[in-house]
A and B are shown apart, each in its own frame.
Chain A
Amino acid sequence: MQEVPRGAFALAALAVGVLLACWLLVYLFVFLPRGMVG
């Protein structure tokens, strides 16, 4: 392999990107609507 592993980078970035997106979706559409607590 001549250069850095672009495929692994792309796969990891995709996976972590999906992870973050799912977290934000839950945060915005499930968690916040359930209301203020403290």
Chain B
Amino acid sequence: MAISEEAIVRSELRWAAIAIGVVSVIMLALIYAGLVHHINPPSNIERIDPKTLHLGGEFTEANLGTRVSADGQVTSRIVATQFTFQPRCIVLPANRRVTLRFATPDVIHGILVSGTNVNTMIVPGYVSQVHTEFTRTGELLMPCHEYCGLGHSEMSAVVRIVPSEEFKPDAEGKVACDAR
């Protein structure tokens, strides 16, 4: 064979440099997205006892759904359970930073909000939290996207994004779907 061993090694090293360069470009783009555009995976690490979350505290039934706190923070709390979300419909304002918080008393679930980067697993023992800002109004599908048992196919909720003017909290700061 006419090609020398040194030439082979050099060509492989040259290609390896290109491969590492390509991979580095991707890593830099990811760092940029994380730091500048604030797009990070949801990594809340907040523990909660699944067996008692319905009894008291943040995820009791009366406290679920969207609520605006005194300092203006918009938070929507949803419980995922076999095989429904409570509540099945939430309302959120467009163009405003909102927080979604999820918990489950039973098995692994997960959600995505279609057309957005809102996506998280819901793991028994943890509160999942996603901050985001919805830019378009409309009814968005929020299905359960992780297998949670035989009823998984039917498990789904709706996220209704309304213009800010139509987002009117009641006396307790709550906004519910049927109020519309």
Q: Which of A2, A13, A16, A19 contacts B2 (CB 8 A)?
A: A2
Are B15 and A27 in touch, CB under 8 angstroms?
A: no
In the complex, which residues 110-149 of chain B have their Cβ closer than 8 Å to any Cβ of chain A? 115-119, 130-135
**B1 beta carbon closer than 8 Å to chain A:** yes
Are B131 and A38 in touch, CB under 8 angstroms?
A: yes
Chain B interface main SS type: mixed
Q: Which of B10, B26, B40 contacts A20 (CB 8 A)?
A: B26
A31 with B117, Cβ < 8 A, contacts A24-B29, A37-B40, A37-B130 known: yes
In the complex, which residues 8-60 of chain B have their Cβ closer than 8 Å to any Cβ of chain A? 8, 10-11, 15, 18-19, 22, 25-26, 29, 33, 37-40, 42
**B62 beta carbon closer than 8 Å to chain A:** no
Q: Which of A5, A20, A23, A32 contacts B37 (CB 8 A)?
A: A32
Number of interface residues of B (CB under 8 A): 31
Residue from the set A4, A5, A12, A38 with the largest chain B CB neighbour count within 10 Å: A38
Binding site for B on A (CB under 8 A): 1-5, 9, 12-13, 16, 19-20, 23-24, 27, 31-32, 34-38
Binding site for A on B (CB under 8 A): 1-3, 7-8, 10-11, 15, 18-19, 22, 25-26, 29, 33, 37-40, 42, 115-119, 130-135
